[in-house]
Structure formats: C-alpha cells, structure tokens
C-alpha cells in the first residue's frame, strides 16, 4: 500500500499549521533552530494523522512534546493533547544481567541436538532483529507482542513515505524558486550596475 494523495494533503495542511506557529520567530532564528522546527512540526503532523489510534503516533507525539510542548498543544486539539501527552504506557524493564543468568542456567539443563541448536540460534537472531526494530520505531519498547510491532511498523513506514514525498516536493519547489530568484536578482542587479 502506497501513500495516497488524500493522506499527503492532510499531512501538508497539518504541517503548515504547525509551521504557522513558528512564524513570528522566523527572523531571529538560526538554521538549526529552523530545521528543528520544521522537523518537529512535520513529525507531529504525521503522527496526528492517525489520531492516536496507533502506538507509534502516540509515542512520537510524546517525544516531540518533551522538546516543544507548546507546539504540540497548539497543533492538536485541546483534549487530545492532554491525554496524549500525559499518558504513558509503562513497560517493565527487565534487568538484563538477571535475565541472562537465568537463561544460562536453563540452557545448561536443556538437551542439545544439532537441529535444536540451529533453530535456537535462528530464534535468537530474529529476536535481536526485532529488538533492533523496536529501537527504530517510535514507541517500540511499549509494544509487548510481535504482531503489534509489525503492524505498527507497517503503518509507520507508510506514514514516513508520505512525509518524505510531501517534504521532498516542497523542498524541490522552494529550492527551484530560490534558485530562480537568486539568478534573476543577480542578472538584474548586474544589468542595473552596468546600465
């Protein structure tokens, strides 16, 4: 499934709404601050498209709320902002040393056939990869089961693709526009200076 034009439109609108909030601060900001503003508003716009149905969107909004609470509050409607920002799904942190030790003990007691070992290694590999996926997808640590994780990943990838497409087209437009302005500016200035 690929991003659709309606999704792109919605994202664009919300992103612009977010950028509006930064408008008064345009002139006295550095490039890095502007970049951060752009990225944050884009992220919140992308996450708000899902309206809190998916785990990654909630986690993303919470993450941006830590960086810029005001923006998030403005971008989302009032009620949702409160619930989304404050609520957090606590995940039980396992003490890795203890878990590892107990696993070692268990392993000693298990029988070791060749096939089982291979299967066990494959399973370990997959588990490592899923852990890696959890690190990448926002809110991955809070997804308790793999099914949910993969579903969220799917949704997240689609949203990321829409975000990238929209941003790329805007950036191309802006850059081409500014190129042209610079070109014509230079040309005319040159003409004026000469003539």
Partner 1 sequence: MDLSGRFGARSGDGVPFREATALESLHLGGGGEEFRQMVPPENAGGFTALLELPPTQAVELLHSSSSSASQATTLHSLGTLSFPSNPLLMERASRFSVIATENQQNGNVSGETTTTSSVPSNEHIKTEPAETETCDQAAVEKQSNRCGKRKELDKKVKSSTKKKSKSSEENEKLPYVHVRARRGQATDSHSLAERARREKINARMKLLQELVPGCDKIQGTALVLDEIINHVQSLQRQVEMLSMRLASVNPRIDFNLDTILASENGSLMDGSFSGATMQLAWPLQVMETEQSYHHRQLQQPPSQQWPFDGLNQPVWGREENQDHGNDHNNLMVGSASLHPNQVKMEL
Give 61 or 95: the residue with its C-beta nearer to partner 1: 61
The answer to whether residues 18 and 75 touch, using CB atoms and an 8 Å cutoff, is yes
Stretch near partner 1 under the rule CB under 8 A, chosen from 60-68, 81-89, 97-105, 151-159: 151-159
Binder of partner 1 out of 12, 44, 81, 85 (CB under 8 A) = 12
Give 82 or 179: the residue with its C-beta nearer to partner 1: 179
Contact between 178 and partner 1 per CB under 8 A? yes
Binder of partner 1 out of 89, 99, 118, 164 (CB under 8 A) = 164
In whole angstroms, what is the distance from residue 147 CA to residue 130 CA? 11
In whole angstroms, what is the distance from residue 4 CA to residue 1 CA? 9
- In angstroms, what is the minimal distance from the CB of 89 to partner 1? 15
Is residue 4 classed as helix, strand or coil in its secondary structure?
A: coil
Binder of partner 1 out of 34, 100, 110, 118 (CB under 8 A) = 34
Contact between 80 and partner 1 per CB under 8 A? no
- In angstroms, what is the minimal distance from the CB of 42 to partner 1? 7
HSE value, Cβ hemisphere, 13 Å, CA-based, for 127: 6
In whole angstroms, what is the distance from residue 138 CA to residue 153 CA? 9
Contact between 73 and partner 1 per CB under 8 A? no
Contact between 64 and partner 1 per CB under 8 A? no
The answer to whether residues 50 and 159 touch, using CB atoms and an 8 Å cutoff, is yes
Query: Which of 22, 110, 106, 103 has its CA nearest to residue 68?
Result: 22
Binder of partner 1 out of 22, 62, 76, 143 (CB under 8 A) = 22
How far lies 9's CA from each of 6, 165, 184, 191, in Å?
5, 11, 31, 41
- In angstroms, what is the minimal distance from the CB of 162 to partner 1? 10
The answer to whether residues 132 and 44 touch, using CB atoms and an 8 Å cutoff, is no
Contact between 175 and partner 1 per CB under 8 A? yes
Site for partner 1 in 100-139 (CB under 8 A): 122, 125-126, 129-130, 132-133, 136-137
């Amino acid at each position: 499934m690929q991003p659709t034009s309606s999704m792109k439109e919605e994202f664009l609108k919300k992103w612009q709404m977010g950028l509006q909030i930064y408008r008064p601060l345009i002139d006295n900001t550095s490039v890095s601050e502007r970049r951060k503003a752009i990225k944050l508003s884009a992220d919140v716009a992308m996450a708000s498209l899902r309206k809190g149905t998916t785990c990654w969107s909630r986690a993303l909004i919470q993450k941006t709320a830590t960086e810029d609470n005001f923006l998030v509050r403005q971008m989302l409607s009032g009620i949702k902002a409160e619930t989304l920002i404050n609520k957090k799904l606590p995940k039980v942190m396992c003490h890795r040393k203890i878990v590892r030790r107990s696993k070692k003990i268990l392993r000693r007691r298990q029988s070791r056939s060749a096939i089982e070992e291979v299967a066990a290694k494959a399973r370990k590999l997959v588990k490592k990869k899923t852990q890696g996926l959890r690190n990448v997808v926002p809110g991955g640590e809070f997804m308790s089961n793999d099914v949910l994780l993969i579903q969220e990943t799917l949704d997240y990838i689609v949203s990321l693709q829409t975000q990238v497409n929209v941003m790329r087209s805007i950036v191309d437009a802006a850059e081409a526009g500014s190129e042209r302005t610079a070109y014509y500016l230079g040309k005319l200035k040159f003409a004026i200076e000469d003539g």
